Amino acid sequence: MNGQHQVAGNRLTLLQNGTEFFPQLCADIDAAQHSIYLETYIFAADNTGRMIADALRRAAARGLAVRVLLDGFGSAELPQHRVDELRLAGVEVQWFRREISPFTLRRSRHRRLLRLHRKLAVMDGEVAFAGGVNIIDDIPVYRDFSEPRLDYSVRVQGPVAGEIHVAMRHLWALVSWANLRRRGKEFRLLVMNRAERIATPGIALLLRDNLHHRRDIERAYLKAITGAQREIIIANAYFLPGRVFRRALKHAARRGVRVVLLLQGKVEYRLQHYATHALYGQFLAAGVEIHEYQASYLHAKVAVVDGQWATVGSSNIDPFSLLLAREANLAVQDAGFAGELRASLLAAIGSDAIRIGDEYCGNRNFFGRLIARLSYGAVRALVGLLGYRRHG
């Protein structure tokens, strides 16, 4: 990959998998001169985690302001001594909602499940990354895979990098204020960074939160899907859309648009995996193509519509991403960028995926479909307990 695309004054580079993302991220950290912000859901204590941590420590040693925001659940297994090493080197580390109880599901406590799922980085407010790649080894060591997770990130140089910088500073200040640290200084940052993002034709930073931007990512998807004329390709690791999203995809297929779903073929989280299978019948009946990725885990959260519009980011199409987590996607209107992502997805579909046929709905698969329905019911019950039943 690594083709560069000029979009509305921004230079975009599509990066596939950690093999392209991690070296570029380290290079940009080493080239930074003033500040570095990094947000991630998972920061693992593996070779990749050590590589990124070393780069961050080098930056702090040069006198840069280095700030790392980690999710309290996704990065819970990061040993405390690794965090202490970063802090001793001058790296500021904060946790987003570290106090969690995944077994407490009463509505009054649903906020404990609000997660930081964004994967963002910005250097000097001029170079930024947005995508789905966590700080973790590319090939899962606990599975016999020879291929890396299929995932994507976008390197951005230009005005949108500045927007990402503002968004990350704002969340850092918000978390600092919530943690009662440097309250006065961080509150001033919080106020200064409340300005709304400026709409830029051709590229948009889509942030999902639980205040002003609850449905921005979902609405961007729906606008692209309802306006599609020829083709929709969606690759998503955890795909469990609500009624409105499902209806839009089925309507597109029935009006002659080719709708292609590239979904998880390997079982990573059983409940979500089998719950997704409960939707296969209705999609197949509407003429939607379903392909399951087999080479490794699918971790991508991307889409291409009509070879012109594309999105890359952290948001799955499931209730937890669309209703609970803080997410970040880039939406890009550019034939060159969208075409590069489309070619990558079609290559993965052609060489590393199997197509699900109508036999999935046959009698011989009755037990599998029963498990899928039970799993789907369990997910819906969980969403209902959290108070979001109305979204379907």
Rounded to the nearest 10 degrees, the angle between the axes of helix 47-61 and helix 17-31 is: 10
Catalytic residue among 209, 306, 318, 334: 306
- Assess whether 34 carries a catalytic annotation: no
Which tokens hold the place of 334? 């550019």
- Assess whether 117 carries a catalytic annotation: yes
- Assess whether 170 carries a catalytic annotation: no
Catalytic residue among 54, 124, 223, 391: 124
- Assess whether 299 carries a catalytic annotation: yes
Catalytic residue among 151, 209, 301, 318: 301
Catalytic residue among 165, 291, 299, 352: 299
Residue type, 374: L
Residue type, 241: P
Asked whether the beta carbons of 233 and 347 are under 8 A apart, the reply is: no
Q: In angstroms, how far is CA 381 from the centroid of its own chain?
A: 24
Which residue in the block uniquely carries the two structure tokens 């640290």? 181
- Assess whether 81 carries a catalytic annotation: no
- Assess whether 209 carries a catalytic annotation: no
| H helical segments located in the chain | 17-31, 47-61, 80-88, 159-178, 183-192, 216-226, 243-254, 270-277, 280-285, 319-323, 335-352, 366-385
Catalytic residue among 5, 28, 71, 119: 119
Distances (CA, A) of 168 to 6, 161, 234, 297, 384: 24, 11, 27, 28, 31
Cβ neighbours for 233, distance < 8 A, ≥ 6 positions apart: 260, 262, 303, 304, 305, 342, 345, 346
Q: Catalytic residues, which ones?
A: 117, 119, 124, 299, 301, 306
